Amino acid sequence: MTHSQAAVGRLAVCPTPIGNVQDVTLRVLAMLTSADVVACEDTRRTGALLRRHGLAAPLVSLHEHNERARARELVARIRAGALVALVSDSGMPLVADPGFALLRECVQAGLDVEVLPGPSAVTTAVVASGLPAERWCFAGFLPRKRAALQTMLGAASQTLVAFESPRRLPATLRVLAELDPQRPAVVCRELTKLHEEVRRGSAAELASHYGAHSARAPLRGEVVLVLGAATRQPASNVEAVQALAELIRAGARPRPAAAAVARLTGLAANELYRESARGTGQAVRRVRR
């Protein structure tokens, strides 16, 4: 729908450049010009973008610490007929960025929501990776705890896309290389910016490269990690067997414990029991020696 055809009071979700300021669309610029208020993750960053394109608009902050309260305030303004534009620091709002609470309240209140297309680090990285793009999964930011990270990395049955901190990237690649050293992986860093890097290779190759890089100097820039489908046993099986072993060591009876873990994980109880028994038998043999 065109601006003239749209209802006056509504929420407009506006993607902003992920690096290169020229990537903003004409529709987004027009919307930001027309908006009664622009809700943004960082008013300084959005203000700089507006000035770069010769625009000015009233700005209010909407971030992870004030999102719920701000959402109620903005919904009231939309009900009163205001056009509210929602932006994040870069890319499409709500995709690992604030905005979900506001959009959900608008939908629940029956208010109009207009989503404009535009830049996204996720889809840019998927295409740049050269990995299968027919089906892929976006995981947001990767978990920090090793067990959860192993589970997520090991269970992916299709191309996996995730954000990662440059500081944690070398350690994440080491975990990936331990699980499956030949797994295809791509590190996309600083997409659309001056120092853009798209490095493809096996998990082992990338772990070696970025491990050596981080030893010389800290890695900088925003990182999107794209991985081929997992080819080995999912890490969730390993974690489930470890959890079962801990229950048994704590005094639980093996078969009932295996059934309980199976219900929680969706894995086969008999398989978990056999794996646990095999591990217990190996431990006993080591002790006897």
Q: What is the mean pLDDT of the chain?
A: 88
The mean per-residue pLDDT over the stretch 92-108 comes to 96
Domain boundaries, the chain: 10-119, 122-227, 235-288
Mean pLDDT of 180-187: 96
**Angle, CA 160 vertex, CA 179 and CA 86 arms, to 5°:** 140
Q: What is the CATH topology of the domain spanning 10-119?
A: Cobalt-precorrin-4 Transmethylase; domain 1 (3.40.1010)
Percent of the chain with pLDDT over 70: 91
Reported as a single tens digit per residue, the pLDDT across 188-212 is 999 999 999 999 999 999 999 999 9
CATH number of the 122-227 domain? 3.30.950.10
CA distances from 15 to 37, 46, 162, 223, 252 (A): 16, 11, 19, 19, 53
Q: State the Cα–Cα distance between residues 138 and 49, nearest whole angstrom.
A: 27
pLDDT for residue 280: 54
Looking at residues 33-47, what average pLDDT do you find?
A: 96
- Range of weakest confidence among 14-18, 43-47, 272-276, 283-287: 283-287
**What's the average model confidence in pLDDT over 58-85?**
96
The residue that leads in pLDDT, 269 or 223, is: 223
**Residue-wise pLDDT tens digits, 206-250:** 999 999 988 899 999 999 999 999 875 444 577 788 888 888 887
Q: If residue 198 lies in a helix (H) or strand (E), which one and from where to where?
A: strand 197-202
